[in-house]
Amino acid sequence: MTKFLEVINLVKHFPGVKANDGVNLTVHAGEVHSILGENGAGKSTLMKLIYGLYQPDSGEIRLDGKPVHFSSPRDAIRAGIGMVHQHFMLIPALTVTDNIVLGDEPGGIRYHRSEAEARVRALSEQYRLHVDPTARVEQLSVGLQQRVEILKALYRKAKLLILDEPTALLTPQETEELFAVVKHLKEQGIPVVFISHKLDEVRAIADTITVMRAGKTVQTLPIGDATPQQLANLMVGREVVLRIDKQPANPSGVVLNVENLHVVNSARQEKVRGVSMQVRAGEIFGLAGIDGNGQTELVDAIAGLLPVAGGRIHFQDQDITHLSTAERTARGIAYVPQDRQLDGLVLDFTLTENAILRDFHKHPFSKFGVMFSQPAKAYAEKLIHLFDVRPKDITRKAGDLSGGNQQKVILAREVSREPQLLIAVQPTRGLDVGAIEGIHRQLLRLRDEGKAILLVSLELDEILSLSDRIGVLHGGRLVGVVPGETATREQLGLMMTGMSQEQATKEGTTS
């Protein structure tokens, strides 16, 4: 096989950080090459160097054997490198075609839309990326939007495609479809660089895997040689426990009882339409569903951040339907919100201030409205040591921390409040294997201590490996509740599209 892309001893320093420190990578023509690594391992920096967003301090990038210097993505695109970012760069109000040809439209001053549409159609036929060229992007699902991004790169005659964490926002079915697309691209001779921190996916799609850790490429190995355990150890640099052993749950009384709940969001759409469910002490209740099916509104209503339009919420046998957030917090509801930067933290506050964000008015942090800094500092020190937050410096601002460490700060704060109910929404989103393991352990520890846990996640694997019971939301309704032990990916995936529990079980076993 010919070497298509070669990266030789690439180094990129940022003030105080060696983001890439001697990276070597060879991508052959016609292969799917996966870059596997934890967050902060330097994957994104490497891709940005290849894509011309950053310039290397030293080292060399070769394309087809010739050294290249890209001073901007424009140069990289011209050389045939296409990249699909984790967050799409599309204009929602424009059509698929407009988005794809934007900046490179056929025709001179006049834009030949029909010709553009014909080209897009031909392109999507050729690569089997079916999408309606005349549809508006805002009407497309996330999976289809990703196709538009891929088409955008192919339209610019990409000879190499870089996909940055492409499955982060997809449903299991959409992920399958993406994998089919990637395989087809490979057959057409376009090598794909697939960046991920999910072991299963990498093993399902890649031909070759390069593992990165702490800015260095640790090892490149063909897929046949790699076991998940070996890959995880390479990524983290130590032995990792992949499958968490959990004791059977020992649930007792009902802690949270939601009855026929209706919630209307701030845009006046009814997002929760009559949900009834119970979460018991000593169990993890997993809530699965495709993003936007009412999960956020449901938990916001339970936490008191959204008003209840109908129905009742009982917590420890008391009606809390109309209590304020502060009162619910005081009664023992802890909440790890979905968006850690927007809701969970004040990024311009120090770790100390963030550690007491929900308890600042309590003893010993304050008395008669006067705050005392010493107890707060001591408490923050305790939290960051217990949860291994890095850097271990309580005077740092939360915004200076990596995503994983920010999440640790929130989890540390919420767990240490000794709650009776912990609501955790996407607690491991964007985190690496090592951090996920730690957070899952914490959740199970709380469960075994007899707390009730409501876990909302878009990751089916997370739901499946942790939950004792799993509820599936679709269109604001609870489609069904299945026991965690017997649930399968297929069954849940079908229920997430609105299929009833019985039908999904049948379909899941026959297919």
Partner 1 sequence: MKSILRQLSTPVIAAVLAMLVGGIVAAAIGYNPLQVYGSLLSGAFGNAYNLGNTLAIATPLILIGLGIAVAFRAGLFNIGAEGQYWVAVMCAAWTGYHFTTLPGWLHIILCLLVAMVAGGLWAGIIPGLAKTYRGAHEVITTMMMSYIGILLCKYMIEEGPMRKPGSMPESEAVAQNTWLPVLSPSSPQLTIGLFIAIAAVIVVWFILFHTTIGFQLRTVGLNPRAARYAGIRVTWYTILALGLSGMLAGLAGGVQLLAMDHRLAEGFNTGYGYTGIVVSLLARNNPFGVIVSAIFFAALSTGGQNMQQVTNIPASLTDVLTGLIIFFVAAERLLPQVIQWYRRRTSRVRTSTAGEGPKSA
Residue 329 lies near partner 1 (rule: CB under 8 A)? yes
Q: How far is the CB of 425 from partner 1 (least distance, A)?
A: 12
Identify any residues that bridge with 42 across adjacent strands, giving them in sequence order: none
Q: How far is the CB of 305 from partner 1 (least distance, A)?
A: 6
Residue 322 lies near partner 1 (rule: CB under 8 A)? no
Site size toward partner 1 (CB under 8 A) is: 31
- The nearer residue to partner 1, 394 or 470, going by C-beta atoms, is 394
Q: Choose among 197, 169, 194: nearest CA to 40.
A: 197
Residue 343 lies near partner 1 (rule: CB under 8 A)? yes
- The nearer residue to partner 1, 197 or 340, going by C-beta atoms, is 340
Residue whose structure tokens are 């957070």: 439
Site for partner 1 in 33-72 (CB under 8 A): 55, 57, 69, 71
Q: Choose among 131, 99, 94: nearest CA to 116.
A: 99
Give the integer Cα–Cα distance in Å for 205 and 32. 7
Residue 414 lies near partner 1 (rule: CB under 8 A)? no
Residue 366 lies near partner 1 (rule: CB under 8 A)? yes
Task: Say how far residue 471 (Cα) sits from the centre of its chain.
Answer: 20
- The nearer residue to partner 1, 218 or 330, going by C-beta atoms, is 330
Q: Choose among 161, 114, 120: nearest CA to 137.
A: 120
Q: How far is the CB of 391 from partner 1 (least distance, A)?
A: 16
Site stretch for partner 1 (CB under 8 A), options 207-215, 257-265, 338-346, 466-474: 338-346
Helix (H) or strand (E) segment spanning residue 47 = helix 43-50
Angle, CA of 498, 502 and 508, to the nearest 5°? 80
Q: How far is the CB of 369 from partner 1 (least distance, A)?
A: 5
Q: How far is the CB of 358 from partner 1 (least distance, A)?
A: 5
- Residue 109's contacts (CB-CB under 8 Å, 6 or more residues apart) are none
- The nearer residue to partner 1, 366 or 488, going by C-beta atoms, is 366
For β-strands 270-280 and 452-456, DSSP reports them as unpaired
Q: How far is the CB of 410 from partner 1 (least distance, A)?
A: 10
Identify any residues that bridge with 10 across adjacent strands, giving them in sequence order: 23
Site for partner 1 in 94-113 (CB under 8 A): none
Q: What distances in angstroms separate CA 226 from CA 28, 138, 200, 202, 204, one per listed residue?
A: 19, 40, 11, 10, 12
- Residue 10's contacts (CB-CB under 8 Å, 6 or more residues apart) are 20, 22, 23, 24, 46, 49, 56, 58, 59, 60, 61
**Collapsing DSSP states into helix, strand and coil, what is residue 391?**
coil
Site stretch for partner 1 (CB under 8 A), options 14-22, 162-170, 313-321, 358-366: 358-366
Residue 221 lies near partner 1 (rule: CB under 8 A)? no
Give the integer Cα–Cα distance in Å for 487 and 481. 10
- Using CA of residue 333, residue 339, residue 340, residue 344, what is the dihedral sign? negative
Q: Exactly one of 345, 355, 460, 464 binds partner 1 (CB under 8 A); which one?
A: 345
Give the integer Cα–Cα distance in Å for 46 and 244. 32
Q: How far is the CB of 379 from partner 1 (least distance, A)?
A: 14
Residue 17 lies near partner 1 (rule: CB under 8 A)? no
Exposure of 331 by Cβ count < 10 A (0-12 exposed, 13-18 middle, 19+ buried)?
Answer: middle
Q: Exactly one of 108, 342, 502, 510 binds partner 1 (CB under 8 A); which one?
A: 342
Residue 74 lies near partner 1 (rule: CB under 8 A)? no
Instruction: Check: CB of residue 285 under 8 Å from CB of residue 467.
Output: yes
Q: How far is the CB of 303 from partner 1 (least distance, A)?
A: 8
Q: Exactly one of 65, 224, 248, 369 binds partner 1 (CB under 8 A); which one?
A: 369
Q: What distances in angstroms separate CA 290 from CA 241, 243, 287, 294, one per listed residue?
A: 28, 24, 10, 9
Residue 370 lies near partner 1 (rule: CB under 8 A)? yes
- Using CA of residue 168, residue 169, residue 171, residue 175, what is the dihedral sign? negative
Site stretch for partner 1 (CB under 8 A), options 76-84, 232-240, 367-375, 445-453: 367-375
Residue 135 lies near partner 1 (rule: CB under 8 A)? no
Q: How far is the CB of 409 from partner 1 (least distance, A)?
A: 12
Residue 2 lies near partner 1 (rule: CB under 8 A)? no
Site stretch for partner 1 (CB under 8 A), options 76-84, 178-186, 341-349, 439-447: 341-349
Residue 485 lies near partner 1 (rule: CB under 8 A)? no
Residue 324 lies near partner 1 (rule: CB under 8 A)? yes
The runs of H, that is alpha helices, within 102-227 are 113-126, 142-155, 172-187, 199-205
Site stretch for partner 1 (CB under 8 A), options 264-272, 275-283, 361-369, 484-492: 361-369
Site for partner 1 in 371-390 (CB under 8 A): 371, 373
Residue ranges in contact with partner 1 by CB under 8 A: 55, 57, 69, 71, 303, 305, 324-327, 329, 335, 337, 342-349, 353, 357-358, 360-361, 366, 369-371, 373
